[in-house]
Amino acid sequence: MEVTVVGRNIAVTDALRAYAEKKVDKLQKYFEREIVDAQVTMSVERSLHTADVTIQVDGLLLRGEERTGDMYASIDSAVDKIERQIRKYKTRINRKLRQDGNKLVESAVNRQATVDVSEPSELKVVRVKRFAMKPMSVEEAIMQMELLGHDFFVFMDASTEDVNVVYKRKDGNYGLIEPEF
C-alpha cells in the first residue's frame, strides 16, 4: 500500500508520518485485497489541527476528516470514522468489491469545483478535483456518497452509461439528476 502524507501549514515530521502510516495500515485488516492508495492530509489553521484521510480500494473511496487541538488525536479520529463507515457498510462493501473485481473505467472524469462567491463580479474556480468514474448503480452511488460524507455524488449509471448526480435532500431522502441531451 502506498500512503501519501501531505502537510499544509505544518511541517510533517518523521514521527508524525510514521504514526499516520501505522494508523492507516491498520485499515488493511478489513479488506482481502490490498488498499490501492491512501492519502493523509494534515493542516493547521487557527490552532485547529485537521487530518483528512482518504483511502481507495478497487475504485471505492472512503474518507474521514477530523479537527481537534492535537494532530495525533485528529489522525486517530479520522481513521476511527473510516472504521465506523467500514463496519456500517461492511456487507455492501464486500458484495461490491467481490462483484466488481478490479474493473475501473478511467475514460470519464469527474470534476468538482468550489466557487468563491464573496464578490459576484469575480467568480472564480479555486479548486478542481478529478477522479476516475466507473459505472455503478444508483444504490452504489448513494452508498459511495454516504461513505465520503458528501451531500452529492456524480457517477456514471451502469445501465444507461450517462453521467448522473445523486444528492441528499433536506427531508433526508435522496434525489437523482438525469441529464437530457
- The whole domain housing 165 covers 104-177
Helix/strand/coil (H/E/C) assignment for every residue in the chain: CEEEEEEECCCCCHHHHHHHHHHHHHHHHHCCCCCCEEEEEEEEECCEEEEEEEEEECCEEEEEEEEECCHHHHHHHHHHHHHHHHHHCHHHHHHHHHHHCCCCCCCCEEEEEEEECCCHHHCEEEEEEEEECCEECHHHHHHHHHHHCCCEEEEEECCCCCEEEEEECCCCCEEEECCCC
Are residue 39 and residue 125 in the same domain, yes or no? no
The CATH number given to whatever domain includes residue 111 is 3.30.505.50
Total domain count for the chain?
A: 2
The reply to whether 30 and 92 lie within a common domain is yes
- The CATH number for 50's domain is 3.30.160.100
Note if the pTM is more than 0.75: no
88 and 25 both lie in a single domain: yes
Per-residue model confidence as pLDDT tens for the chain (181 residues): 788 899 988 888 999 999 999 999 888 887 776 776 889 999 998 889 999 999 887 777 888 999 999 999 999 999 999 888 888 777 776 776 666 653 332 222 232 233 333 344 567 787 787 777 888 899 988 988 888 888 899 999 988 888 999 999 888 899 999 988 7
Are residues 34 and 70 located together in one domain of the fold? yes
